[in-house]
Structure 1
Amino acid sequence: MSSSAGDGGILMTMHRLSQGGADRVAVLLANGFVQKGIPTRFVLLRDQGEAERELLDLLHPDVSITSAGPAIGSRHLELVRGQRFIQREIVSHRPAVVLASSSNMGLVTGLASKVRRDNGPRFAMKLTNPVVRPRDRGALRTLYRHKLYAFIFNQYDLVLTLSEAERLSLLEIYPAAGALFRTVPNPYISSEMLQDPPRRRPAGPCRVLTAARMMPQKRLDVLLQAFARTSLPDSRLTILGDGPLRPALERLAQSLGIADRVEMPGFVDDVLPWLRRTDLFALSSDYEGLPAVILEAFACNVPVVTTDCFAGARQMFSEIASCAVTPVGDPAAFAAAIDRCLTSARKPEDLRKIAEGFGIEASIAAHIRALDHLMR
């Protein structure tokens, strides 16, 4: 990167330090930027995030961080307050680039670009969720989402996508914006993960694992219904994560008669020890960007069953016999896939090769290359 790249540095925006994978990725990116000599500052729309302690412990000491204030009970009010706060931070710190760390930050950060001047910062965003989600499939809702993101993208100089399949799908919707979209791999996999010895199957009953916030998008109800239909009555399911749907999920497990085979230990700051002693990872979401935990499972040689919830899922899994992709929201198909993957012959060496493409060092370097022309 040019010498001017580090002068103004990067200002990254985030709603809060939450359990979401996008927030962990943002922290890893910020750490990588400062280690390459690029001043980096986090601007949070609010503090008191669910994973604040864990992510602050992970954050490099040279990354500065500030917050617009405590939670105020309304996401919309936090966005309004946050837009003004981002603008003040831009004026005060004069970054070279303002980077929205997720789709959820796209609109509020884009609106803050009103402070842009001829020599002001350039704006980039990471697209971490689909433009059109499953609940947006109706014609009017789809049109609204297309128009909304056309407005959002118009505020930016660069939009970073998580996969080439996603970039190509965006070009079908926004054919005139080809130069705006660029694919970069997210930093997910450390060299230490890939250096670990091959996973050995733990003794005892088969173990299925998932890691997700307990919220509607993750469709943990579908996972519980599917698990109740599986043909291995002594298998165990572990759900890592927490959220507002916990009481409903606990009641559902009771009603399905599987509560004695399901554990919900809450949020953990390191999923790897759990992956290393499981047989299968399950992802039941309605939609995702590119789930980090799937790649972490591959790095640990753990097969995966997932819904068709992210762009390129079927292409990624097409030649992996020990893994499966099922339709979104179909417990019967998900149950059949769990049974098939738990009883099939596994080829774990293939899974580690997939994970290698998402190494932290290479991914940070790719982000720096993508942002370089904005920095100049």
Structure 2
Amino acid sequence: MHIAVYLPSLRGGGAERVMVTLANGFAARGHQVDLVLVQAEGPYLAEVVPAVRIVNLNRKRVMASLLPLVRYLRRERPEAMLSALNHANIIAILARRLAGVKTRLVVSERNSLSSLSTGKQGQLFKWLMRTFYTWADGVIAVSRGIAQEMNTQLGLPMHTITSIPNPVDLQAIQQQAQIRPNHPWLGAGQPPVILAVGRLEPQKDYPTLLQAFAKLRESENARLVILGEGSQREPLQAHIARLNLQDSVTMPGFQDNPFAWMAACTVYVMSSRYEGFPNSLVQAMACGVPVVSTNCPTGPAEILEDGKWGELVSVGDADALALAIARMLHTPEAGEKSLQRAGFFSVDAAVDNYLSAMMN
């Protein structure tokens, strides 16, 4: 089967990495795969296997890729197309309609609808999704929570939505996790390191994590590392200074291999206000690390099965977050549970489910 995978770019983000994993997985099954990118750029380009053809539409904005995508569909006529991220999904739906081809189109929603603002732009996006998602042949949600949101907020019937959790390439992650990061905090005999990975944006609620860490430091000699880049770097650095944490918190930026840091840390923490399916949480579990997460919409409660496999705390509760981290610092055996649970999110299972959705 000829499959097109369409998304804006391969700049650093969980959704982009997952789509590369799926494209590689489709190719490994013998399918002809085109990775159709609005702009062929980003660190994950290096992870695309040679069997996957990269098609660069070479546009600066997703909206501007509409006509190039129409031309691609008319020229190549793939049997199926998978798109990701809501703005790209809308363009994919319109392009398939304008191209007049029989390509089966499946769109995937990878973030909680809480990510959309309550203002005019957010309401416009919801209207577009409500109107156009019914034109797709299938809709995939990366968590049951997102499926329920699309049902209640967009009016999409539950039977039209398939929930498929994001895949985790255990073998690849564990291979990369063997590399020890060159950082003095990760040497032998150093205090425990708490790690968070994600874009420096309001969604991740790092101010609450910093408040929790400040409370934790009252009783624990620990350090905090936050990997990622984003618009909130300067405000976060100022917040670190206000809390007098300059000597115990570092933000080294985006890292090509976050798994090495995950394997080297003592506890992994996710403090998000909302997610879709938090890939980094499962990736940390695949590295055998105890995890703490906010019980945000959507994903963490499903991944951790309401606290069976790790600590869940309320969103924005710095006190609860500090206590949960402290408990995990003294429960190293929780890492074995993390690793056990991570095995549920295999690449093979995800590839099977996506192929089924695109073939039906």
TM-score under structure 1 normalisation?
0.83
Residue 318 of structure 1 deviates from its aligned partner by: 4.9
Residue in structure 1 matching 2:38, options 13, 30, 45 = 45
Give the Cα–Cα distance (whole angstroms) in 2 for the partners of residues 318 and 94 of structure 1. Answer: 41
3-state DSSP class of the match of 1:249?
helix
Counterpart residue number, 1:99: 82
| Counterpart amino acid of residue 166 in structure 2 | N
Q: Does 1:286 align with 2:273?
A: yes
Counterpart residue number, 1:185: 165
Residue 209 of structure 1 deviates from its aligned partner by: 0.4
Residue 145 of structure 1 deviates from its aligned partner by: 5.7
3-state DSSP class of the match of 2:18?
helix
Unaligned runs of 5+ residues in structure 2 are 179-186
TM-score under structure 2 normalisation?
0.87
Summarize the Cα distance change of 1:205–1:290 in structure 2 as closer, same or farther, 3 Å threshold.
same
Residue 349 of structure 1 deviates from its aligned partner by: 2.8
Counterpart residue number, 2:46: 57
Give the Cα–Cα distance (whole angstroms) in 2 for the partners of residues 350 and 26 of structure 1. Answer: 27
Superimposed CA distance per residue, residues 345-364 of structure 1 (whole angstroms, 9 cap, x where no aligned partner): 64333222211111112221
Give the Cα–Cα distance (whole angstroms) in 2 for the partners of residues 208 and 104 of structure 1. Answer: 34
Residue 371 of structure 1 deviates from its aligned partner by: 1.4
Q: CA RMSD in A?
A: 2.8
Residue 270 of structure 1 deviates from its aligned partner by: 1.5
Counterpart residue number, 1:262: 249
- Checking the alignment, whether the CA contact within 8 Å between 1:285 and 1:307 is kept in structure 2 is yes
Residue in structure 2 matching 1:21, options 11, 14, 22 = 14
- Checking the alignment, whether the CA contact within 8 Å between 2:173 and 2:287 is kept in structure 1 is yes
- Checking the alignment, whether the CA contact within 8 Å between 2:6 and 2:35 is kept in structure 1 is yes
- Checking the alignment, whether the CA contact within 8 Å between 1:225 and 1:331 is kept in structure 2 is yes
Give the Cα–Cα distance (whole angstroms) in 1 for the partners of residues 232 and 114 of structure 2. Answer: 24
Q: Does 1:69 align with 2:58?
A: yes
Superimposed CA distance per residue, residues 18-71 of structure 1 (whole angstroms, 9 cap, x where no aligned partner): 110110111111111112121111222224x4xx2x312210112111223264
* Mean Cα deviation higher: 206-215 or 20-29: 206-215
Q: Does 1:358 align with 2:338?
A: no
- Checking the alignment, whether the CA contact within 8 Å between 2:93 and 2:136 is kept in structure 1 is yes
Give the Cα–Cα distance (whole angstroms) in 2 for the partners of residues 243 and 192 of structure 1. Answer: 26
Summarize the Cα distance change of 1:104–1:329 in structure 2 as closer, same or farther, 3 Å threshold.
farther
Give the Cα–Cα distance (whole angstroms) in 1 for the partners of residues 88 and 82 of structure 2. Answer: 9
Counterpart residue number, 1:75: none
Unaligned runs of 5+ residues in structure 1 are 1-5, 72-77
Counterpart residue number, 1:204: 190
Give the Cα–Cα distance (whole angstroms) in 2 for the partners of residues 292 and 354 of structure 1. Answer: 13
| Counterpart amino acid of residue 171 in structure 2 | S
Residue 328 of structure 1 deviates from its aligned partner by: 2.2
Summarize the Cα distance change of 1:341–1:141 in structure 2 as closer, same or farther, 3 Å threshold.
farther
Query: How many residues get paired?
Result: 350
| Counterpart amino acid of residue 197 in structure 2 | A
Give the Cα–Cα distance (whole angstroms) in 2 for the partners of residues 319 and 79 of structure 1. Answer: 37
3-state DSSP class of the match of 1:371?
helix
Give the Cα–Cα distance (whole angstroms) in 2 for the partners of residues 256 and 129 of structure 1. Answer: 31
Counterpart residue number, 2:183: none
Give the Cα–Cα distance (whole angstroms) in 2 for the partners of residues 330 and 141 of structure 1. Answer: 29
Give the Cα–Cα distance (whole angstroms) in 1 for the partners of residues 58 and 125 of structure 2. Answer: 30
Residue 122 of structure 1 deviates from its aligned partner by: 1.7
Q: How does 1:1-376 map to 2 (within 5 A)?
A: 6=1, 9-47=2-40, 49=41, 52=42, 54-69=43-58, 71=60, 78-117=61-100, 120-133=102-115, 135-136=117-118, 146-173=126-153, 177-191=157-171, 193=173, 203-230=189-216, 231-318=218-305, 320=307, 323-344=310-331, 346-373=333-360
Residue 218 of structure 1 deviates from its aligned partner by: 1.9
| Counterpart amino acid of residue 4 in structure 2 | L
- Checking the alignment, whether the CA contact within 8 Å between 1:10 and 1:97 is kept in structure 2 is yes
Summarize the Cα distance change of 1:319–1:13 in structure 2 as closer, same or farther, 3 Å threshold.
closer
| Counterpart amino acid of residue 124 in structure 1 | V
Residue 158 of structure 1 deviates from its aligned partner by: 0.5
Summarize the Cα distance change of 1:57–1:128 in structure 2 as closer, same or farther, 3 Å threshold.
same
- Checking the alignment, whether the CA contact within 8 Å between 1:320 and 1:350 is kept in structure 2 is no
Superimposed CA distance per residue, residues 97-155 of structure 1 (whole angstroms, 9 cap, x where no aligned partner): 121123342222222232253x521211111011233854x9x9987665332113122
